[in-house]
Amino acid sequence: MQPLKQKIQTLANEYYPHVQSIRHHIHSHPELSFQEHNTAAFIEAELKAIGITSMRSVARTGIVALIEGRNPHSKCIALRADMDALPIQEENDTPYRSQNDGVMHACGHDVHSSCLLGAARILHNTRQEWDGTVKLIFQPGEEKHPGGASLMIADGALENPKPSAIFALHVYPHLPTGTTGFRAGQYMASADEVYITIEGKGGHAALPHQTIDPIAISALVISGLQQVISRRSNPLIPSVLTFGRIAGGFATNVIPGKVEILGTFRAMDEKWRYEAHKLIKDFTEQTCAAYGAKATVEIPVGYPMLFNDPDLTHKATAWAQDYVGNHNVHELDMRMAAEDFSFYTQHMPGCFFRIGTNREDKEFLAPVHNPRFDINEESMITGMGIMAWCAVQALQ
C-alpha cells in the first residue's frame, strides 16, 4: 500500500490548484440550507469532468455518486461532505468573498465539498489499484432542522450499494494546517430546540395582584430548569441547557399576558436526552400551574449524539498517522456542538474527523460561524488526501 499512499500524496498536491479554484467558486456563491441548487449543479459538472457518471439526485439538492475500483461489488465505503452555507454577512476582503449578501460559507462546507471533489479525482485516477466501491455523498442542509442527512437517508442515499462504513471531515481552526484530529466514541452532543410559551394574565404594573405575571414566572422557570438539569443528570454525562431568547412585554408599566422562551438542550447520552425532555416539560408546566399560568412546551427532536465507532476510528487514526506522521495527529476533546453526520452513524460505523486549517497558530484563527472565518487553503491538500487514503484503506 505504500506506493499507493505516495501516489495519493502526489496527486493531492498536483490537484490542489484546481481544488482551490473549486473552493473559490463555491465560497463566492453560497446557498442556504436546502437551497443548494446551483452548488449541486456545479458539483455534478465537476464529477462529470472527472469522468464520474454514476450519480443521482437525492433529497432534491443532494448528490450520490459512485467510483468503482476493481471487483466493485466486494465492499462499499462512503465519504460525505455537506454543501450549505449560513445566514451571515461575510466581513473578509478576499477575491473569493461571498457575492450573495447575507449568506456565507462560515462553517467550511465549501471546504468539505472541495476536499471530497479532490478525493474523488484521486480515487478515480487510482481506481485500478484498489478493490470495491466508494460512494460519494454531497449533502444539503446540515445547518438546518431536520438535517439533510436524515432526508438523504430517507431517500435511499445509503442503499444500492449499502456502505459498510462512512467518513466525513470538518475544518478545525484550532489546529494548524497539515494536522488532523480524531476522537473515538462519544464526540458531539445531541441537539434539540426548546420552545416554551407561558400564558398569564396581563394588566397594570402597579396592580400585580390583579394579574398573573408571566415575566416573573419565566424567571422561576429558567432558574429552576438549570437546577433540574444539573441535579437530575449523572454528572459524568455532559449536558447543557441554554436559553437564547426571551420575548414578552411592551413597556415599563405593563405586565404582558404572554412570554416566549427559546433555547437548546444538548446531551451526550440518548437515554438521558429523552428523560430530560420530560423533566423540562413537567417542571415548566407544573411551575406555571402553581402560579396560575399555562405553559406550552415543544421540544422538536433534532440531531442525535455523534458516536464515532471506536474500532473504525482507531484504525483511521493509525492510517492518518501513517499518512501525515504521528506528531500531526491529535486526539480531540468532546464538543457540545452538534452534527447531523450522527444520523449516518445510527446505520453503520462512522468516523467524523477534523483537519487543521490555521497557519502556524498565527493566521486563520477566526472560529466557525464567524463573519471573518477563513482557512489556509493548503489544508485541503491534507483533507482530500486523507479522505482518499481512509477510503482505500477501509476497503481492504
| 59 in the same domain as 112 | yes
Enter the C-alpha cell of residue 30. Answer: 453560497
How many other C-beta atoms lie within 10 A of the C-beta of residue 129? 15
| 209 in the same domain as 181 | no
| 88 in the same domain as 233 | no
**Residues annotated as part of the active site:** 84, 142
Residue pLDDT, tens place only, 114-167: 999 999 999 999 999 999 999 999 999 999 999 999 999 999 999 999 999 999
| 153 in the same domain as 43 | yes
| 226 in the same domain as 181 | no
Whole-model pTM over 0.75: yes
Strands (E) located in 46-154: 55-58, 62-68, 76-82, 133-139
Residue pLDDT, tens place only, 48-67: 999 999 999 999 999 999 99
Cα separations in angstroms, 215 against 229, 260, 285: 21, 9, 15
| Most distant pair of Cα atoms in the chain: their distance | 82
* Integer Cα distance of 66 and 64 in angstroms: 7
Domain termination residue (choose one: 298, 333, 356)? 298
Alpha carbon 305 to its chain's center: 11
Residue 329 has pLDDT above 80, yes or no: yes
Of 195, 77, 92, 80, which Cα lies nearest the Cα of 137? 80
* Integer Cα distance of 246 and 221 in angstroms: 12
| 318 in the same domain as 229 | no
